[in-house]
A = this chain, B = another copy of it.
Amino acid sequence: MHTYQVQSGKKITLKDWDPADLSLWDKGKKEGIKETEKLVKELQVLQEKIYAQQKHRILVVIQGMDTSGKDGAIRHVFGLLNPQGVFVKNFKVPTAVEIAHDYLWRVHAHVPGNGEIVLFNRSHYEDVLVVRVHNLVPRTVWQKRYDHINQFERMLADEGTTLFKFFLHISKDEQKERLQARLDDPLKHWKFNVGDLEERKVWDEYTTAYNHVLSRTSTEWAPWIIVPSNRKWYRNLVIAKILVEKLGKMDIKFPDPQSDLKDIKID
């Protein structure tokens, strides 16, 4: 069975990974959506325990090309969790103050504390992706960042954070269809950003940059998962399934009560 996990230290290229793969599910879309709903319910229970236990810190990094479904995955997989313990942080173009600091500064500020699940919609990986593709800093600067990032994530893991990193993998044709759909449907016009067309022109450069990210920063403590994302329902199913499976193996449980509750009498 395919786990979609990039082996640590292995050099990979995205052209070997099928964005339309469906090998984890052979019962079709309708049953797949039902399965995801079931998994999301399990995730709700797990998250409630994580919040109550105040022990684990869960960081979920979501990366992918424009239109790959980062927002959709967040809405469908995490949308029903208790917002009290789940936080989404969108990393956009850095502000002047952010640019005046190292690139991990704004990211570190938002990592999860005990009992929290934090979703990064884009992340520090943009500092070796868009920054590289558009030459925003010299090569000598961004080249050192793979090591920084591995070490940063290692520190987080050593100190008690569990990391999930999902790359939402779509084909260039699929992107074309999704951009066209945004043009054709007035209700989707707000999502259409002319800048996306400029980024589409450098699709190959982004693919190269992602090949390096996935090859150099998939580690034992923070492996990358390449999620086949041409089908939205399958993308959600894979993310939910991997989360439930891995969290299910962790020591996640309601904490013991503070004292023996049977002796307590409420007058």
Residue in contact with A155 in the complex, picked from B57, B115, B152, B160, CB distance below 8 Å: B152
CA distance A144 to B160 in the complex (A): 12
Q: Measured between C-beta atoms, what is the minimum distance from A52 to chain B in Å?
A: 14
| A102 nearest in chain B by CB position | B159
CB distance from A212 to the nearest CB of B (A): 18
Q: Are A102 and B111 in contact (CB under 8 A)?
A: yes
Interface size on A, residues (CB 8 A): 28
Taking the complex as formed, is A1 at the interface, i.e. its CB lies under 8 A from any CB of chain B? no
CB distance from A106 to the nearest CB of B (A): 10
- For window 120-172 of A, CB contacts with B under 8 Å fall at 141, 144, 147-148, 151-152, 154-156, 158-161
Report Cα–Cα, A148/B155, bound state, in Å: 6
- Beyond A103-B159, A108-B108, A141-B159: 19 further Cβ-contacts under 8 Å? A57-B101, A97-B113, A100-B114, A100-B115, A101-B111, A102-B111, A102-B155, A102-B156, A102-B159, A105-B108, A105-B109, A108-B109, A141-B158, A147-B151, A148-B155, A148-B158, A151-B152, A151-B155, A152-B152
Can you tell how many copies of this chain the complex includes? 2
CA distance A158 to B145 in the complex (A): 9
Whole-angstrom CA separation of A57 from B100 in the bound complex: 9
Which residues of chain B have C-beta atoms less than 8 A from A243's C-beta? none
For residue A6, CB closer than 8 A to chain B, the reply is no
**What 1/0 mask marks residues of chain A from 87 to 113 whose CB sits below 8 Å from any chain B CB?**
000000000010011111100110101
Complex Cα distance A97/B104, Å? 20
- Closest 8 A-B residue pairs measured CB to CB? A100-B113, A102-B159, A151-B151, A100-B114, A148-B155, A108-B108, A101-B113, A144-B158
Q: 6 A-B pairs, CB-CB below 8 angstroms?
A: A54-B100, A57-B101, A102-B161, A108-B109, A141-B159, A148-B154
Which residues on B sit within 8 Å (CB–CB) of A160? 102
List of B residues within 8 angstroms of A57 by Cβ: 101
Docked pose: A157 CA to B113 CA in angstroms: 26
Tell me the complex Cα distance, A102–B151, Å. Answer: 14
Residues of B within 8 A of A105 (CB): 108-109, 111
Pick the residue among B114, B115, B155 that contacts A104 (CB under 8 A). Answer: B155
List the B residue with the shortest CB-CB distance to A149: B155
Across-interface contacts of A115 in B (CB, < 8 A): 100
In the bound complex, residues from chain B placing their C-beta under 8 Å from that of A54 are: 100
Complex CA–CA separation, A151 to B155 (angstroms): 9
